[in-house]
Structure 1
Amino acid sequence: MTDQTPVPSTPAARRKARRFALQAVYQWQLSKNDVGDIEVQFLTDNDMKKVDRTYFHELLHGVPARLSELDAALQPALDRPLIEVSQVEKAILRISAFELLARPDVPWRVIINEGIELAKVFGADDSFKYVNGVLDKVARRLRTEEVRGF
């Protein structure tokens, strides 16, 4: 396994954690394998030296643990049933919804931006526009007071 020295929680380390979490959640969605096994695989197979592994763990385990709540938060903002959303977009939306719900210390605009960036890298050509629109609606509902200032 890789070096287990904790990495400080910097924006860059969290961005890397989100990228790995997206890939791991995507794998979980398709395989339904145990998230603990998926986590071990990612920690073993990837260079995690500059990754906030604590944040990676929180995202990877938090999405399945709160899946019903996350999907319920997302559905009103979608233009189609969640089952019809691509697996990559679904993973991005679920991770972002988890952050909006569980991480009030992370500003909503940062969460949306990170979701957009993940969609630009891993999603279809214009999926970042879809992710942006959905997350904006979700943030307005889940972070009403915070969003109201903008």
Structure 2
Amino acid sequence: MAPRAGTSNRAALRSAARLAAVQALYQMDMTGIDLKEVVAEFTEHRLGQEIEGDQYNKVEDQSFADLVEGVVREQRSLDPLIDQQLAEGWRLTRVDSILRAILRSGAYELFTRDDVPARVVITEYVDIAHAFFGEDEPRVVNGILDRLGHKARPKEFAVSEAGK
């Protein structure tokens, strides 16, 4: 089956939106910048722009805003779910800020965006983790998001595991 026209471009825009959302969440965490301010800063001054020699990709604006706003809105319910997946004695607040942003964004998508297959969500955030870290952190992202995916979408995983 051939992909619909524009599908791969839309996927690339969504991937870029995920990366930008993680960066925006990280910036909020590190600077205390307000939600509306960070979304405005990214959409008006970063996304699709070249800044100090770095080219920021264009993104699917709606996906970017949904991710950042959704993570902030749902953080109180997402954090305990992520905490349960961490090694004993660890809490999300002890995790590196960028890793925390990746896990929150991935968890948000798994629990709220059933229009995107869980395995796609997991792969996308593992790829983002590879952009920032060596091998250990991407493995942590994969393990945690996989367990959360099984909780959030058991039917989706049951179908794929039955076909193995």
State whether TM-score is above 0.5.
yes
Q: Over aligned residue pairs, what C-alpha RMSD do you find?
A: 1.8
2:84 is equivalent to residue 84 of structure 1: no
Q: Report what 1:57 is aligned to.
A: 65
Stretches of structure 2 lacking an aligned partner (at least 5 in a row): 1-5, 49-56
Q: Map 1:29-68; keep pairs closer than 5 Å.
A: 29-48=29-48, 50-68=58-76
CA contact (8 A) 1:59 1:95 kept: yes
Q: Report what 1:15 is aligned to.
A: 15
Taking structure 1 as the reference length, the TM-score comes to 0.89
Which stretch has the larger CA shift, 17-26 or 49-58? Answer: 49-58
Match 1:102 to one of 98, 112, 117: 112
Distance 1:63 1:14 in 2: 16
2:138 is equivalent to residue 131 of structure 1: no
Q: Which amino acid aligns with 2:146?
A: D
Distance 1:58 1:109 in 2: 20
Structure exhibiting the larger radius of gyration computed from Cα positions: 2
Number of matched pairs: 144
CA contact (8 A) 1:88 1:123 kept: no
Q: Report what 1:122 is aligned to.
A: 132
Structure 1 runs (4+) greater than 4 angstroms displaced: none
Distance 1:115 1:133 in 2: 11
What per-residue deviation string (whole Å, max 9, x for no partner) do you get for residues 93-118 of structure 1?
Answer: 00000001110111000000011000
Q: Which amino acid aligns with 2:41?
A: Q
Stretches of structure 1 lacking an aligned partner (at least 5 in a row): 1-6
Q: Which amino acid aligns with 2:123?
A: N
2:159 is equivalent to residue 142 of structure 1: no
Q: Which amino acid aligns with 2:109?
A: E
Report percent identity of matched pairs: 33
What per-residue deviation string (whole Å, max 9, x for no partner) do you get for residues 3-38 of structure 1?
Answer: xxxx98711000010111110011111222211101
Distance 2:142 2:82 in 1: 12
